[in-house]
Amino acid sequence: MNEDIVCNMTVSYSQNSEGSLKTALREYGWPSEVKTIIATPIQEGMTAVHYAAEIDPQQLHYPGEDAKLMNLLIDYGGQVDLQSLNTNETAMHMAARSGNQTVLLAMVNKIGAGTVQIVQNKQSKNGWSPLLEACARGHTGVAQLLLQHHARIDVFDDNGRTALHLAALNGHLQIVHLLLQHKAFVNSKSKTGEAPLHLAAQNGHVRVVNVLVQDHGASLEAITLDNQTALHFAARHGQLVVSQTLLALGANPNARDDKGQTPLHLAAEGSLAVVKELMMIDKAMVIQAKTKTLEASLFFVRKTEKKTLG
């Protein structure tokens, strides 16, 4: 038994059981006690396996130490499939969140294909599987490993968002590519009707927008439950470059939501740059869409233009 690994690493992540864990591991004649301590939840239902799974690789004493630790814990009865009490997270969720691909691979190799299929598709309290964790945080290697072992790509969280929604929301271009290569549905809708394109547009991720539309045929006219398009989202959040990109790709600047608002109306609430861009598309649209908010925005646009001209 490699006591040093456990004492140096696991103990530091579970201080409440430090003394008992060290003692049990040094008592070669009491393997049952070792197994009991390793499997016993410490805080909020977390076990030593949970803590080992979230180790930051930068904290290692030498490469591969974390994988050896995980193998040792599993050998002594650590369970990868146990879910924490408050968040319902498994050790795989922890590894996916921390981006620790080495530990995840150790778990996958140790527990067997059948158990991998079960554990990697378990969902936490907010509906996230380990794949959603990895995709939200941009851990491409972890996402790739999970997909290689056939993680479900169609898992929906409590908001109805998929891994592709989360990758697009956070601008993780490589993961967007990876998910689409594994047949993720590009126009999947959340509970409020948002497609991945809406979320990429909202946060200004131009390259993701281009990939979704040009390479994978994402619909420019996909609408939310309140009838807003991706251009509405870009305009509302003041995303000038994305608005320009969507317009160049053929987005409809005259699309109206369920309140009758066009992207121009939403831009008028805070982004003069987007207002000017939309005015350049069709000035007749401005006349048709005038509201008090828009009138005020147009006043400032004209005032700015006069100052620029001197």
pLDDT score of 34 = 57
Helix H or strand E segment including 93:
helix 91-98
- Sequence-ordered list of residues with C-beta below 8 angstroms from that of 115, at least 6 positions apart, any chain: 80, 81
What's the rounded Cα separation, in Å, for the pair 149 and 290?
A: 54
Q: What is the pLDDT of residues 214-271, one digit of tens each?
A: 999 999 999 999 999 999 999 999 999 999 999 999 999 999 999 998 888 888 766 5
Q: What are the tens digits of pLDDT across the range 109-118?
A: 999 889 999 9
| 6 pLDDT higher than 50 | no
What is the CB neighbour count within 10 angstroms for residue 138? 17
Task: Give the pLDDT confidence of 34-84 residue by residue, as tens digits.
Answer: 566 666 666 677 888 898 888 877 777 778 888 888 888 898 888 899 999
Q: What is the spatial distance between Cα 198 and Cα 86, in angstroms, rounded to a whole number?
A: 31
For residue 46, give the 3-state DSSP assignment: strand
Q: pLDDT above 70 covers what percent of the chain?
A: 72
* Mean pLDDT value across the chain: 82
Is the pTM above the cut of 0.85?
no
The stretch 153-168 carries a mean pLDDT of: 98
More confident residue, 102 or 297: 102
Token pair belonging to 108: 């996958």
| Amino acid at residue number 292 | K
- Judged by DSSP in three states, 43 sits in strand
- pLDDT above 70 (res 300): no
Instruction: Output 258 or 298, whichever has higher pLDDT.
Output: 258
Give the mean model confidence (pLDDT) for residues 147-162.
Answer: 97
For the record, the structure tokens of 66 come out as: 């974390």
Range of lowest pLDDT (74-88, 94-108, 132-146): 74-88
